[in-house]
Structure 1
Amino acid sequence: MPRPTPSSALENLRVLDLSRVRAGPTCARIFADFGADVLKIESPPGVDPNENMSGARHGYDMQNLHRNKRSLTLNLKKEAGKAVLRRLIADADLLIENFRPDVKDRLGLDFETLHALNPRLILVSVSGFGQTGPYRLRAGFDQIAQGMGGMMSVTGLQGQGPVRAGIAVADSAAGLYGAIGALVALQERAVSGKGQWVQTSLLEAQIAMMDFQAARFLVEGTVPPQAGNDHPYATPMGVYATRDGHINLGVGAEGHWRSFCGVLGRPELASDPRYDSVEKRYAARPELRILLEKIMSTQDSAYWLDACEKASVPAGPIYSVDAMFDDPQVQHLGIAQPVTHPVLGDIRVIGEPVGLSRTPASVVSPTPDAGEHNDEILAELGYDAAAIAQLRADGAI
């Protein structure tokens, strides 16, 4: 198999990734996949008591989050380690971190200090609750943000109590928003020549992901309830039982409703005065569900999906993860990207879900072992073999 070609989109950028767990690494991964030189800076093994917070080095999560990066171990408790970092900062474009604000200040990674070292540097800070305010020093984790950001109050079946999403919504969203902010800052720097401080948090990202549910309250004053697998205000839009399982329906507009009634073999329902508007169908949702599922229980899911597709009615299967990757459209999109790891062999990771016509993202290398590129990176900084050996002997790398 030919070696993948690195993306050239961001090849002129150097990114220092001092983050860990998920949100910060997600942000840095975007730059790595689009060709930036991303240095994953981490403590030497045994220095950080929480070094395994992200899971096993050769585990699926680390492999997915840190591909395309180079690894440099630095002990920032040692002055020699800090000195190496300062030399890196002098020529870097981005520094991504998710330390608690007080830890960042203690390490000398506050924006004022960094700006003095490199006025063009863009600092991307991803925190739990923000850089200021009464919660600034609280430890932030995805599930806590899901709860405080309103998501758990609208997720799950009505009356069952709060339910977390099955994925790390707040973590991933904060990483994405951090990357968006960094790209905006890079564009602005092309005009001003100056770096700036990009800030986001799990709490802010989760609230932003609430989107129309949060806007519903802000604009109308309505507190959204749990709606289970149903759309909050449109029906039939949600999960419906068939003879052999369940499918998703997306009957959101009047045209869809008329077409769907034809699919069901009950065209008269389209003009039934009980169901002839979005508002009436929503008010009659429980009885309408019973009626629809009675009809749909006569045929298998595949029948209804095929019939809906032919009638241009939005519908889709509900996959387990293995079935998801077997879907022909998913395979066509190529979002499962192959990479060869020296220990794990040939594996696949999740590619970038955005395509560029000339400079697409590419997965070219697996997650490195801790410190795998120490000598290479330090040599680029001007350290000779003796100096590198001394750093290693001093426990700085």
Structure 2
Amino acid sequence: MSQPSGPLKGLRVLDLTRVLAGPTCTQMLGDLGAEIIKIEKPDSGDDTRGFAPPFWPETKESAYFLGVNRNKQSVTVDIAKPEGQALIHKLLEHCDILAENFKVGALAKYGLGYEQLKAKYPRLIYCSITGFGQTGPYAPRPGYDALIQAMGGIMSLTGEPGGSPQKAGVPVADLFAGLYGCIGILAAVNHRHATGEGQHIDIGMLDTHVAWLANQGMNYLATGENPPRLGNQHPNISPYQEFPTKDGYLILAVGNDPTFERFCKNFGCEHLLADERFATNPKRVANRDLVTQTLTPVMKSKTTSEWVEALEALKIGCGPINTLKDVFADPHVKARDMVVKMQHASGKEIEVIANPVKLSATPPDYRSAPPVLGEHSESVLGGLLGMSAAEIAALREKGIV
């Protein structure tokens, strides 16, 4: 494993996270140069190692695990045993940050809760990511992406009018919680630079979910009315939605009145500009069904590619509705290097989705592929803690590592 580089070089994270929210957070830190020591349960490891199929071809690694665990060193430790807890304490003497996503109070049973550690490690930044945060009536509950999407309101907004509520196609509640956790850690690092003090970061998935209700949340606060499900239409702009074309579908995004005027004048709809119901965006939002009915035959007159070429020439927002095959074949996605090839310990080359943060001086660092279980136990325990091969072998014999 090559040495870290990047803006977070020199920071070391003890990673007690698993599944998605926590690993998303720590992978971002690792991509930016932090050293990540991922603690996994002996024999089984992170739950997502078993979230398969699919496995990466000709390996025993799940695609799910590979997606959020690059730039990490896997060390197996059974934290339920006193000797395992002692190892965690020895590692903490060399770490700046502890990240975890156990249920509230679970780590305290092993003497590894924040209140138990802060006196001994006053500079420690301790980030907890849970379903509902450390306080409040729901704090003891486990958190899962789908139920957070349900309880956080996004499902009530997603789906066709009159249809059933729908969750997003990817686990957005987990992902946002992980990214907010990363932001909190970076803020705490800056605070520690100024004061020398660590602190506890309390990330609740429901909190982060409520935080990104964005314009829809504000629409409710402004009116006291629950926003309806609008399918692919925008609650505040029209037309801003999908339309059928001659050979598929297209997203048309008309963001303001001058753009709508430009659309109408170029595609045989100039008469609409004299119709009060189409005159302004608020009018079009109030008459969104009429807008859809009126423009649908127009949009069906061309193929998707014809529309994209014509609309882009007029600087009118549009885009095809891509499958994932289309996404990864897209020339812009390729030009932005959004897929990275890495050499895995299995001997196979794997592909992972790249970090989207483009830094001119300190770009993300792809120094090591997601590890196989326990791949770095000897190198970390021996190199960082100075343990002998015999000592590590004895711990392995007991099932501690």
Note the residue ranges of structure 1 that are not aligned, 5 or more in a row: none
Alpha-carbon distance in 2 for matches of 1:46, 1:150? 35
Alpha-carbon distance in 2 for matches of 1:250, 1:151? 22
- Of residues 33, 36, 44, the one that matches 2:34 is 36
Alpha-carbon distance in 2 for matches of 1:47, 1:373? 13
Alpha-carbon distance in 2 for matches of 1:53, 1:126? 22
Alpha-carbon distance in 1 for matches of 2:265, 2:145? 44
SS at match of 1:134: coil
Aligned amino acid, residue 35 of structure 1 = G
Per the alignment, residue 181 of structure 2 pairs with 178
**Matched-pair contact (CA < 8 Å) for 2:49–2:64:** no
Name the CA shift for 1:281/1:31 in 2 (closer, same or farther; >3 Å).
same
Per the alignment, residue 299 of structure 2 pairs with 296
TM-score (norm 1): 0.95
Identical aligned residues as a percent:
39
SS at match of 2:231: coil
Aligned amino acid, residue 244 of structure 2 = A
1:394 aligns with 2:392: no
Alpha-carbon distance in 1 for matches of 2:3, 2:376? 20
Per the alignment, residue 364 of structure 2 pairs with 361
**Matched-pair contact (CA < 8 Å) for 2:152–2:206:** yes
Alpha-carbon distance in 1 for matches of 2:2, 2:91? 28
Name the CA shift for 1:47/1:36 in 2 (closer, same or farther; >3 Å).
closer
Alpha-carbon distance in 1 for matches of 2:142, 2:178? 17
User: Shift of residue 329 of structure 1?
Assistant: 0.8
SS at match of 1:178: helix
Alpha-carbon distance in 1 for matches of 2:65, 2:49? 10
Alpha-carbon distance in 1 for matches of 2:43, 2:82? 18
Name the CA shift for 1:9/1:113 in 2 (closer, same or farther; >3 Å).
same
Q: CA RMSD in A?
A: 1.8
User: Shift of residue 53 of structure 1?
Assistant: 5.9
Per the alignment, residue 16 of structure 1 pairs with 14
> How many residues are aligned here?
394
1:107 aligns with 2:105: no
Alpha-carbon distance in 2 for matches of 1:98, 1:369? 21
User: Shift of residue 220 of structure 1?
Assistant: 2.6
* Within-5 A mapping of 1:169-248: 169-248=172-251
Name the CA shift for 1:46/1:350 in 2 (closer, same or farther; >3 Å).
closer
Alpha-carbon distance in 2 for matches of 1:202, 1:52? 22
User: Shift of residue 52 of structure 1?
Assistant: 5.2
User: Shift of residue 169 of structure 1?
Assistant: 0.7
**Matched-pair contact (CA < 8 Å) for 2:51–2:62:** no
SS at match of 1:216: helix
Per the alignment, residue 23 of structure 2 pairs with 25
Per the alignment, residue 377 of structure 1 pairs with 380
User: Shift of residue 46 of structure 1?
Assistant: 4.9
Per the alignment, residue 146 of structure 1 pairs with 149
SS at match of 2:183: helix
Q: Which runs of 4+ in 1 moved over 4 A?
A: 3-6, 50-57
- Of residues 273, 276, 290, the one that matches 1:270 is 273
Alpha-carbon distance in 2 for matches of 1:258, 1:65? 45
Name the CA shift for 1:385/1:5 in 2 (closer, same or farther; >3 Å).
closer
User: Shift of residue 217 of structure 1?
Assistant: 1.5
Alpha-carbon distance in 1 for matches of 2:131, 2:241? 32
Name the CA shift for 1:21/1:148 in 2 (closer, same or farther; >3 Å).
same
Per the alignment, residue 84 of structure 1 pairs with 87
**Matched-pair contact (CA < 8 Å) for 2:240–2:253:** yes
**Matched-pair contact (CA < 8 Å) for 1:67–1:367:** yes
**Matched-pair contact (CA < 8 Å) for 2:45–2:373:** no
Note the residue ranges of structure 2 that are not aligned, 5 or more in a row: none
User: Shift of residue 266 of structure 1?
Assistant: 2.2
Name the CA shift for 1:85/1:190 in 2 (closer, same or farther; >3 Å).
same
Higher mean alpha-carbon deviation, 153-162 vs 270-279, is at 270-279
Alpha-carbon distance in 2 for matches of 1:118, 1:54? 35
Name the CA shift for 1:5/1:240 in 2 (closer, same or farther; >3 Å).
farther
SS at match of 2:202: strand
User: Shift of residue 130 of structure 1?
Assistant: 1.0
Per the alignment, residue 331 of structure 1 pairs with 334
Name the CA shift for 1:126/1:370 in 2 (closer, same or farther; >3 Å).
same
SS at match of 2:65: helix
SS at match of 1:118: coil
